[in-house]
Structure 1
């Protein structure tokens, strides 16, 4: 009788964040050993991150280090100690608007932090590294839906610029050292345990408290809202879709695979842009309240629309996110009422 294979080890940075928490839960449920890293930053309420982390810690397969990804030498020590099979790098300073107020935090967390991970992977190569980018990388592009093979040279915020820079950094390491890398471009992720700085959380809180909501660009915005468990399913499937450098340098049409490296960028979105006013209507339906709207002009660094082409994701994994906005918004509002006892 053959011995059971040991569980695979995943290193997940940003493990107490919104997406990291859901991904860690998914991997732990599947029997993985998960090493988390999170600095529990105060960008939004720390108690929410602590609660997520405490829930993960109930699983014996989970361990966590509370420190910053950019801390010099930390990633090298974690890679050497745990020798992760897979690395999912989600830790980042997030938010388009905050990047205007505090750009240095983005430089340190996003650029320096990613460099620390790449150097550690160079020394102790995992089988696959998956790094979070953003739909904001498409910047000023107006042709939609966004396809991974489009040029993306005109980022509209420093947040987006740092994320696009990490794509280029990771490509160079993939080329030089043969490190398989998949970059994700996420599209407006939402759902239970979400971030308080994002529209769904802010709108739900304000509506339930009877306060007006700030609606930018006078409501004329579209977003490709992606439900968090759909996103996590896509990440999980992409873990096993390891990019391979093409021996002849020829890449199939529509594939973002590099001709000179085992590196690829993949959209993860719902491929269904939704008008902001329809999103608000879904929140109103879920809360049973009517929102008082404070109509405002577009904010600096923002874009009027996002829309993902997910053909590449489907060809690599066979998966297409499918949660509709009314269903996903209701799940969030139900969670919010329960969590805050509203």
Structure 2
């Protein structure tokens, strides 16, 4: 049986990154610290977006609040940007009568770590959250390493390079370290420079970094696109991720990652699918309404799941990870879920 992922020690070549941490450096810009909810606000259900408020992905997630217009059983909905693992850990031990109004949008890796109660000390889940269940996949995002200049086809070429990456804690940072450590075996030979998205391009212009893992592929009105531009005089291209690297990551850790082909015409990267999760005590009628809303409206939200099959497309998904309402929903539509 695979042992829980050990806490990552700071790479001996990542000390440079410490100097670029923002004060407090724990929450992404635009993400807020999850507040302690007051009892009188419990009637509003809050959906927590892991994407910073300034990103296009968060703006897509805010459309979920309109679900209550079509499904009154949902009551009042709001969408707030709160980073993982906070959006789970801050509510895990709350009284269920209040916790039912707090729904996190989770990533592939965070759902599995949260349910197992594990993870590195800087991005972990101290409680076994087996009572947190997936409802549906919203969209796939892809994570990898992008390098400026001549295309890098062999990860060995990354040794000695400086890569701008999110500060800990961050799901993207965790994926970055897993890829470099377990997938390619070169984590100690690269310098991870802690940096937020607005600083990446100026840092490149100043010659301070050679590449980045911030070039996330995500949904846009024109399809899935990289979040950073590639200029003719300084092209930014991805280092391809092979299935062998994914297999090594999965063998070394208590979760299942998968390849993403979200970038049309581009190389395979690591999938960081994102979807809605709810706690066991959430009203089944609300879960059912949210499923029906996504089934009816997902195709009109750029990059979102457009049908029941896509709503259940989650790397490593098994029946025990799903809300009972979601299991019945997919079964009724002929979608087979392992286990």
Q: TM-score scaled to structure 2, two decimals?
A: 0.26
Higher relative contact order (CA 8 A, sep 6+): 2
Q: TM-score scaled to structure 1, two decimals?
A: 0.25
